[in-house]
Amino acid sequence: MNNKYDDIININYPFTLKHPRMSLSSRAGQFAPFAALTGYSDIIKEEGRVTSDKFLMMDDEFVFLDRKLRLIRDNIDKKYEITFNYFVKDNLKEGGKYISTTGIVKKIDDYRGIIKLFNSEEIIIDNIVDIICDDLFNNYIQ
């Protein structure tokens, strides 16, 4: 069977000596998708990220938290493991999120308004919404 390209199908391609051959990875890069708006997808993801508002506590809740903090301060040498639920402000958007961390209190710094834990975490006292330590609180708080 005769094809119309039989005369040129087996001829070697003429390579130039002036320009080196492009690598396969460079050739593949020519066909990569083009992002006309770089960073746009990151902006869309950031806008879609949900944050929470910090809710305001009632006076009786403040009193209850204050009693718990005083108990922690009075028993700090006993090294109870305590869980703190608190609000963390978001650096990029309005609002933030509520997180929980557990640790042993190293120091309560009233001047700076923070609680330092032995695991190097620092918690802003004004952002705390709940403190949990059944071993300590069950004996004192009803």
Q: Which residue has the tokens 């070697």?
A: 12
Domain assignment of residue 107, yes or no: yes
CB 127 within 8 A of CB 114: no
Which residues span the domain enclosing 64?
59-140
Q: Which residue has the tokens 């997808």?
A: 41
Domain count, the chain: 1
Residue 131: both structure tokens together: 């403190």
Domain assignment of residue 113, yes or no: yes
Model-wide pTM > 0.75: no
Q: What is the pLDDT of residues 65-103, one digit of tens each?
A: 999 999 999 989 998 999 999 999 988 888 899 999 999
DSSP state of 126: G
Q: What is the pLDDT of residues 15-62, one digit of tens each?
A: 777 878 788 888 777 777 777 777 888 888 878 888 888 888 888 888
Domain assignment of residue 27, yes or no: no
